[in-house]
Amino acid sequence: MTDQTKDRVLIFDTTLRDGEQSPGATMTHDEKLEIAELLDDMGVDIIEAGFPIASEGDFRAVSEIAERSKDAVICGLARAQLPDIDRCWEAVKHAGKPRIHTFIGTSPLHRAIPNLTMDEMADRIHETVTHARNLCDNVQWSPMDATRTEWDYLCRVVEIAIKAGATTINIPDTVGYTAPRESADLIKRLIETVPGAPDVVFATHCHNDLGMATANALAAVEGGARQIECTINGLGERAGNTALEEVVMAIKTRSDIMPFTTGIETKKIMHISRRVATVAGFPVQFNKAIVGKNAFAHESGIHQDGMLKNAETFEIMRPEDVGIAGTSLPLGKHSGRAALRAKLKELGVEVGDNQLKDIFVRFKELADRKKEVYDDDILALVSATADEETDSLQLVNMSVHCGTGGPATADLEMEIDGKEVSATSQGDGPVDATFKAIRMLHPNAARLQLYQVHAVTEGTDAQATVTVRLEEDGMIATGQSADTDTVVASAKAYINALNRLVVRREKTGKDVKEISYKDA
C-alpha cells in the first residue's frame, strides 16, 4: 500500500449486483445505466455493475455501464469457474478501468456444496485467479463466508490468491455473523500473518443480519481494510449490506476517531438514495440513518427550541452535506426554470434539458395545487419523470367518482404501446375501481402483494408516494409514484409496476439461466 492510499478508503458500491439480489428489487436496463452514472458522478471508486454470466440482460448492462464509465473502476462478479471469468471479462473489458471479481465459498458449509476437499478448492482458487489475472490487471478475490472459515485455511487460501495475482482481497461476512471487535481483528491478523498481504488492498463486505453491517465495516477499516463494499440505502440480500451513506457520513463526521477520507461528494447522497428507493421499489424507512425522512426532523418542543438556538444541539451533521436543505424551499408558483435548476443543483441532481422541461411542467402543476413545495416534493418529481419516457403503458387521463352512496366508478384513458384506449370500471372504493379499469385495459394475472401510501411532506395538500408490489409466476415487480392525489398516485404506481413486469417478462424469457451460488 502506498502512503497516498493509506488513509483513503475506497468505496466499492454493489447496489447493482448484491443490491439487485434483494428479493423484489429489479432494475431495468436504463435504470441500471442511470444509477451507475449517478454513482460514478458521486465519486464511487469501484462500481460492481452485475454478474455477467447470470443472464444476457446482466451481461448487456455490465458491458454498457463499462462503455459509458468515466472515473470509476467497473467490476463484474464471476464464480470460480473459467467460463464465468471469461464472460465477466467480455463485459468489463470495455471500461477505462476494468476489474474482475471472482469468489468461492471457503467455509466448511460452503465447501460441502461443490463437494471439494480443502486441497481441491485451493487448486481451483489458484487456477481461477491466475486465469482472471491473465485477462485483467485488476483482480479481486473473495472467500465467501470468510468469517465462518477456519483461520488456518483462510490464511492459506488468501495467500494462494495473492500469489496468483489478486490485487484486492475481500473478506465477506456473508451471513452477517461477525461483530465489530472480531471484524477489526480478523483483517488485522490477516494483514500481519499472510505473506504478501501488505502489498494488496483488503476489503470488507458486511451483511446486516444482526444490524451490525456498518459498525463491522468501519471496524474492519480500523483493522487495516482500505475498501468498503456497500450499497445505497443498504439494499442487499436478506437484511441488506453496509449502507454507503452511513459509512461515508460516519467517516466524515467522526474524523477525530476515524482519520480516513473517501472521494464521495456527499451532497449527492440524498438524490441517489431516492432514485434507488424508487427504481428498486424499496421505500426507505423513516428512521433510517442519514437518508430517512426523519433523520433531520425534530418534533418535540425541547428539540425544536434547541434547534432554533443552535442546530448543533441535536444534529451531528448538516443536512446540506447530504443534499437536503434544512429549511423549507422558497420555491413557489412564481419561481422560474432557472430557480428550479439552481435548486436541483443544490440537491445534487443533474438533469438534461428535456428532463428539466418535464420536471418544470410538473413543478408548476404542483405549485398551483400546493402552498409550499419542499425539497422532498422536488426529489419525488425528479424520480417520477425519470421513469416514464420508455414505458409501454402510460396513464393519459383519469377521473373517479366515489362517496358514501355506493360503489366507486373510475374512468381511465391509457396509452398502451402507442395506442390510446379507455375503460370504465366500478369497484369497492376509488383505488379498487381504478385498478380494475387498468386490468380491463391491460389484462394480467399479477397478484397484488403490497399497497402502501406515504405522505412525502406534511399537510393535507402533501404529495402521496404510493408503492405497489405485484407477483406473477414467481416474478416480483414493484412500482412507485407520487402525486397530491392519492388515487392518481396509486394508478401511476400500479402502471409503473406493470411496466416493470413487462420488462421482467422480456428479461427472464429465454435468456435467463438458473444460476446460484451453489454451483460455485
Q: How many CA atoms lie within 13 A of 311 on its CB side?
A: 10
Instruction: Give dist(CA 9, CA 2) in Å, integer.
Output: 13
* Shortest separation between residue 14's beta carbon and ligand KIV, angstroms: 7
* Shortest separation between residue 74's beta carbon and Zn ion, angstroms: 18
Three-state SS annotation for 388-443: HCCCCEEEEEEEEECCCCCCEEEEEEEEECCEEEEEEEEECCHHHHHHHHHHHHCC
According to CB under 5 A, which residues from 477 to 496 bind Zn ion?
A: none
* Shortest separation between residue 182's beta carbon and Zn ion, angstroms: 18
Whether 131 has a binding-site annotation, put simply, is: no
What does 144 interact with, of Zn ion, ligand KIV, none (CB < 5 to 8 A by kind)? ligand KIV
User: 12 or 363: whose CB is closer to ligand KIV?
Assistant: 12
Query: Could you say which of 129, 144, 154, 171 contacts ligand KIV (CB under 6 A)?
Result: 144
According to CB under 6 A, which residues from 93 to 122 bind ligand KIV?
A: 103
Contacts of residue 157, defined as CB under 8 A and 6 or more positions apart, other chains included, come to 106, 121, 122, 125, 143, 149
Whether 205 has a binding-site annotation, put simply, is: yes
Helices (H), 174-240: 180-193, 213-223
Is 174 one of the binding residues for ligand KIV (CB under 6 A)? yes
* Shortest separation between residue 173's beta carbon and Zn ion, angstroms: 9
| CA distances in angstroms from 402 to 427, 439, 465, listed in the order given | 10, 19, 21
Query: Could you say which of 22, 55, 142, 478 contacts ligand KIV (CB under 6 A)?
Result: 142
User: 63 or 107: whose CB is closer to ligand KIV?
Assistant: 107
According to CB under 5 A, which residues from 10 to 49 bind Zn ion?
A: 18
Instruction: Give dist(CA 206, CA 214) in Å, integer.
Output: 7
Instruction: Give dist(CA 219, CA 230) in Å, integer.
Output: 14
In the chain, count H helices and then E strands.
17, 14
Helices (H), 254-352: 269-280, 301-309, 337-346
According to CB under 6 A, which residues from 239 to 298 bind ligand KIV?
A: none
What does 362 interact with, of ligand KIV, Zn ion, none (CB < 5 to 8 A by kind)? none
Fill in the DSSP letter of residue 261.
B
182-211 footprint of ligand KIV as x/- string (CB under 6 A): -----------------------x-x----
Instruction: Give dist(CA 244, CA 208) in Å, integer.
Output: 13
Q: Which grid coordinates belong to 358?
A: 418535464
Sort residue 360 into left (φ over 0), alpha (ψ -120 to 50) or beta: alpha
What does 227 interact with, of ligand KIV, Zn ion, none (CB < 5 to 8 A by kind)? none
Whether 271 has a binding-site annotation, put simply, is: no
What are residue 408's phi and psi, to 5 degrees? -80, 150
Query: Could you say which of 9, 15, 18, 84 contacts ligand KIV (CB under 6 A)?
Result: 18
User: 108 or 332: whose CB is closer to ligand KIV?
Assistant: 108
Under a CB-based contact definition with an 8 Å cutoff, are residues 277 and 284 in contact?
A: yes
According to CB under 6 A, which residues from 306 to 345 bind ligand KIV?
A: none
Q: Which stretch binds ligand KIV (CB under 6 A): 66-74, 168-176, 296-304, 448-456?
A: 168-176
Query: Checking DSSP bridges between strand 475-483 and strand 447-455, what pairing results, if any?
Result: unpaired
* Shortest separation between residue 285's beta carbon and ligand KIV, angstroms: 22
Whether 110 has a binding-site annotation, put simply, is: no
Determine the residue type at 161.
A
Query: Could you say which of 52, 172, 223, 430 contacts ligand KIV (CB under 6 A)?
Result: 172
User: 18 or 31: whose CB is closer to Zn ion?
Assistant: 18
What does 504 interact with, of Zn ion, ligand KIV, none (CB < 5 to 8 A by kind)? none
* Binding-site residue ranges for Mn(2+): 18, 205, 207, 241
Contact residues toward Zn ion (CB under 5 A) are 18
Contact residues toward ligand KIV (CB under 6 A) are 18, 103, 142, 144, 170, 172, 174, 205, 207
